[in-house]
Structure 1
Amino acid sequence: MVDTQVSIVLPAYNEEDSIEQTVMISLETLVDFLPTGTFEVIIAEDGCEDRTPDIATQLAETDDRIRHVHSDERLGRGGALEFAFNQANGETLVYYDTDLATDMRHLEELVESVRLDGYDVATGSRWLPEHQAERPAKRGIPSLGFNMLVRTILRSDLKDHQCGFKAISRSAFEQLGPSIKDEHWFWDTELLVKAQREGFRVKEFSVDWEPKGDSKVDLVRDVFGMGSQILRTFWELSVSPRITQRVSLGAGTLLVALAILLMTQYLNPQTILNEMAGAAPELVVLSAIIYSVSWPLRGLRYRDILNSMGFHEQWEFLTGAIFISQTGNLVFPARLGDGVRAYVVKARRSIPYASGFASLAAERVFDLLTITVLAGTVMIGLAATGSVGELMSALTGEMVGGDTKQSGQTAVYVAAAVGFAAIGAVVAIIASTHTEANLVRTTISRLSDDSYADYVARIVEGFVADIQTVTTDGSTFARVGISSLAIWTFDVLTALTVFAAFGYPLTPLLVAVSFFAVSVGNLAKVLPLTPGGVGLYEGAFTIIVAPLTPVSVAAALSIAIVDHAVKNIVTILGGIVSMVWLNVSLTTAVEQAQTVDEGTKDQIGDT
């Protein structure tokens, strides 16, 4: 149809009961104001599971004004519209909901506003004063709140952004389409907001509207989906353009300085200096060098994890991403730095957020499992050598008093819980690969059963599948497991070097206890009780070392402080270098990570 001027697109998902009637009413309405042969009706059938595809094919075969555009898999409402628009012939592109909730007498005004009146975009509105729309509270209240947020946060001048009754010129669509990132219900809103920002002429006119069928308003789509999309669009349009390389570097440097200042709230700088003054400085420096060696190993391990998921990146870049993430955990509360890495690999290497978070989760599982195995093995060994009494004294902190005892006991309890959870997580992941039950979809379907929930379920299923890929593949499991053991061995070697700096001989007992103390301390750091686990690590280290070795309580605490300070300083310095190298701001990374809308973020914690 080379002379087609208007393309009507009907996004259809499982509409077998109504699609034929909708098409017929559309044709009857269009012939009243458009010349014959100047329009087409496209059924954008989006991976339906009912008879909609058969009905659409039959309609298209019997009437050359009707076309059937089929998708083998679910694209989402926005994705289906874009897919159909790209195949449409008309210069005016129109779409509306197939339930015909909007009175079809408004179709002529919608079409002609773009075709003849010179508007780039036209949209019906249920919230203009002249409208007649019966909206039950379940639909009306969320709609009012949503539109108010869009007007306030995204600075839109329109009253109604989600009315499924819109038209756009082909030239405007070709300019705006590539910039629209959402593929589902927010697609409409993003189109209108970006059209206004780009200076296109947008017409909003009142329509009569009557709800048809059951409402699809639900928690999953409207709160988590739409809300996060508003924040994502705000970031894209209002914040990101203002972040230049100079701003990014300045903000990153400022926040690293803030990290150092925050550390002084938990560690007395003078105490650290005094204790280090009593230690051999060359060995303290050596401990920092030893700890630094573990970082390339982290990058290599992360490379192996991503390789198993089908993403092939250089270990140098991945090491930098980890440095930035860990620095973020020293600056921000609640382990917000964990999301930074997913943002960095997405922004710099286009690795999807779901895979970024899944790779982080897999890494954390290996970390926790390795540390748990180290701690458990040493504890069993100490008990077998007849040190049961001393071991119980260590775990209860009987030889330590004051705040150190309290923080140490808390750390031991946390470490035990995290250790059991790590073992349980590995067992659950492996067991899940041997069952046909889809626990993810079953759980999500209890909250929502609409198309957006289906989208969320598919993302989470991919997330779980990525983790299973790493943990159930024999060769990958072995490589990542061995590298994890090497990483945490270097962590313990750092502490042992600090012991040597304080003049303590590295006896077999001290080495074994150090493995136990460092492991418990790192397990305790998983919960975001303090920035960087400061206090918990020192407490656990002290109440374990003091009862089991000749090291005094004061010396054990001093060694723990220096050991942890060395590790945090190396992390911060690595973070500074990595932020400059990769041009990443912690503020940017954390805020962007917090607006992720794919429902996959798993705050496992940072060790």
Structure 2
Amino acid sequence: MSTEKIETETTKPLVSIIIPAYNEEALIEKNVALLYDYLETLTDLYRWEILIVNDGSSDQTGPLSDALSKKYNTLNVHHHITNRNLGTALRTGFQNTHGDYVIVLDIDLSYAPEHIERLLAKSVECEADMVIASPYMAGGKNTAVPRLRLLLSKTVNFIMRKASGLNIYTFTGMVRAFKGEFIRSVNTKSSTFDINSELIFKAHILRARVVEIPAHLDWTEQRKLGKIRTSSLRIIKGIFNGLVNSFIFRPYLFFWLLGIGIFLISLYIIVWIFINTYLQYPMTAELTQGFENRFSLAVSEVYRQRPYSFVVGGITLIISIQILGLGFLSLQKKRYFDELFHLNSAVLKANKKL
């Protein structure tokens, strides 16, 4: 190989592709071959390394992955002895990458390999720290996804978009491209699928640039393999998790909305009490003299007629003030967390450079 060709090879960006795998013996060999066939078309632009994270599979996924690593010299395998869920699998992948760019891909190729080039192109074009493959934004598409599962996903992502105030349509999607330096310096803690929304949350704190590209989510092969399972319980659980995850973006907003809602109820009752007291006031002229005495008599008459209004109005007013106070406290705590996370990330990034 000539010196010029060697220099060209080493100057091309290195792209690390992370593939989490759990009990995927039915498709891992076929899909890795398809992936390498596609990557061959981009060898003029990029260098590649692939990391399969075998997350404690109980079938032949582990041995098959090891065999693939012998067949492809740019493929490495990392094994978890037990299933530790997606979040841990992705952290294992991130910690063992060396690429200028890092891409997370699903082994079932529900997002076709062609998304890789588009993710990388958008990352370069926008100098983005994170590029998300989004089937829910304008231009995105879904094929063969069960209606209940699609409803779940769209509902959760809609809730998170509105709650966070971010112009992002797909918070839960796993297929993404990252700048290598960025993703290796982000400290995450989630061990479940929640890591996908956690990464967006922490990227937002770090003022990282996050963009989306329209993507095609195609579950045709999953239907053929019979791997799709949905239930009403999972729909409810998924929506609940979406609400909880939305809470981390702007926790104070939930307290304020609830507090204002309860305050409006109390305000309505208190106004009703004052209006009726005003109407009762002229009737007290024959019974007593002096403003204070007449006003007290009017209030007591309104209380005699509707005592529960005073109780409910007072209790709702106190509760609303307490909830609004919690909103201000949560805003303060979020600001402290953001500052501490900035500091933590800066220290982690500095240590990695040593």
Q: Normalising to structure 2: TM-score of the pair?
A: 0.61
> Aligned with 2:133: secondary structure?
strand
**2:237 aligned residue:** 224
Q: Does 1:234 align with 2:244?
A: no
Instruction: Give the Cα separation in 1 of the matches to 2:86 and 2:106.
Output: 10
What is the deviation of 1:229? 6.1
2:219 is the alignment partner of 1:206? no
Q: Note closer, same or farther for the CA distance 1:588–1:36 as it changes in structure 2 (3 Å cut).
A: closer
> Residues 163, 108 of structure 1: CA spacing in aligned structure 2 closer, same or farther, 3 A cutoff?
same
Matched, 1:161 2:171: yes
Conserved 8 A contact 1:95-1:166: yes
Q: How does 1:244-323 map to 2 (within 5 A)?
A: none
Q: Secondary structure at the match of 1:104?
A: coil
User: Deviation at 1:43?
Assistant: 0.8
User: How many positions carry a matched residue from both structures?
Assistant: 243
Query: Counting helix residues as a fraction of each chain, which structure ranks higher?
Result: 1
- Do 1:190 and 1:233's aligned partners in 2 also have CA atoms closer than 8 Å? no
1:118 aligned to which of 113, 121, 127: 127
Taking structure 1 as reference, are residues 36 and 62 closer, same or farther at Cα in structure 2, changes over 3 Å only?
Answer: farther
Displacement, 1:78?
A: 1.6
TM-aligned CA distance change 1:235 to 1:66, over 3 Å: closer
Give the one of 43, 54, 63 matched to 1:54. 63
2:197 to 189, 196, 200: 189
Deviation per CA, 1:287-333: give whole Å up to 9, x if none: xxxxxxxxxxxxxxxxxxxxxxxxxxxxxxxxxxxxxxxxxxxxxxx
Offset from partner CA, 1:51-98 (integer Å, 9 cap, x none): 000001011122211111111122211210111110111121101211
5 Å matches for 1:11-30? 11-30=20-39
Shift in CA distance, 128/148, structure 1 to aligned 2, threshold 3 Å: same
Bigger Rg over Cα: 1
> What is the identity, as a one-letter code, of the residue corresponding to 1:201?
R
Q: Aligned partners of 2:79, 2:123: CA distance in 1, in Å? A: 27
SS for the counterpart of 1:11 is: strand
**CA drift at 1:236:** 6.8
Query: Structure 2 vs 1, CA of residues 43 and 235 (structure 1 numbering), >3 Å: closer, same or farther?
Result: closer
Q: 1:91, 1:169 within 8 Å by CA — same for their partners in 2?
A: yes
Cα deviation, residue 208, structure 1: 2.0
Q: Shift of the alpha carbon at 1:227?
A: 2.6
* 2:181 counterpart letter in structure 1: S
Judged with a 3 Å threshold, the aligned counterparts in structure 2 of structure 1 residues 118 and 36 are, in CA distance, closer, same or farther, namely closer
Aligned residue among 170, 176, 183 for 1:173? 183
Q: 2:122 aligns to what SS in structure 1? A: helix
What is the correspondence of 1:393-542 to structure 2 with a 5 Å cutoff? none
Preserved CA contact (<8 Å) 1:57 1:68: yes
Query: Is the CA contact 2:101–2:177 (under 8 Å) kept in the aligned structure 1?
Result: yes
Q: Aligned to 1:32, what secondary structure does the other structure show?
A: helix
Cα RMSD over matched residues?
A: 3.0
Task: Please tell me whether the aligned partners of residues 102 and 179 of structure 2 are also in contact (alpha carbons under 8 angstroms).
Answer: yes
Structure (1/2) with the larger strand percentage: 2
Unaligned runs of 5+ in 2: 1-8, 256-325, 331-354
| Cα distance, 1:194 vs structure 2 | 2.9
Looking at structure 1, the residues matched to 43 and 124 of structure 2 have their Cα atoms a distance apart, in angstroms, of 11
The change in CA–CA distance for 1:202 and 1:29 in structure 2 (over 3 A counts) is same
SS at 1:69 equivalent: strand
Cα displacement (A) at 1:12: 0.2
Q: Distance in 2 between matches of 1:156 and 1:218?
A: 30
Match of 1:8 among 17, 20, 39: 17
Distance 2:229 2:171 in 1: 17
Shift of 1:184: 1.2
Change (3 A) 1:175 1:238: farther
2:160 is aligned with 1:150: yes
> Is 1:44 the counterpart of 2:24 in the alignment?
no
How far the C-alpha of 1:140 sits from its partner, in A, is 1.6
- Assess if the C-alpha contact under 8 Å between 1:131 and 1:208 holds in 2: yes
The answer to whether structure 1 residue 141 and structure 2 residue 120 are counterparts is no
Residues 232, 124 of structure 1: CA spacing in aligned structure 2 closer, same or farther, 3 A cutoff?
closer
TM-score (norm 1): 0.37
- Decide whether the 8 Å contact of 2:133 with 2:176 is kept in 1: yes
| Whole-angstrom CA distance in 2 between matches of 1:55 and 1:36 | 29
CA distance in 2, matches of 1:129, 1:82: 30
In structure 2, relative to structure 1, the CA distance for the partners of 1:230 and 1:47 (3 Å cut) is same
CA drift at 1:198: 2.9
Aligned 8 A contact 2:163 2:246 in 1: no
Q: Distance in 1 between matches of 2:203 and 2:193?
A: 17
Question: For the structure 1 residues 68 and 208, does the alpha-carbon distance in structure 2 shift closer, same or farther, using more than 3 Å as the test?
Answer: same
Question: How big is the shift at 1:174?
Answer: 3.0
Is the CA contact 1:37–1:65 (under 8 Å) kept in the aligned structure 2? Answer: no
Give the match for residue 97 of structure 1. 106
The AA in structure 2 aligned to 1:46 is D
Q: Give the 3 Å change call, closer, same or farther, for CA 235–147 of structure 1 in structure 2.
A: closer
**Taking structure 1 as reference, are residues 200 and 221 closer, same or farther at Cα in structure 2, changes over 3 Å only?**
farther
Quote the sequence identity (%).
21
Give unmatched runs, 5+ long, in structure 1. 243-584, 590-607
Shift of 1:185: 1.3
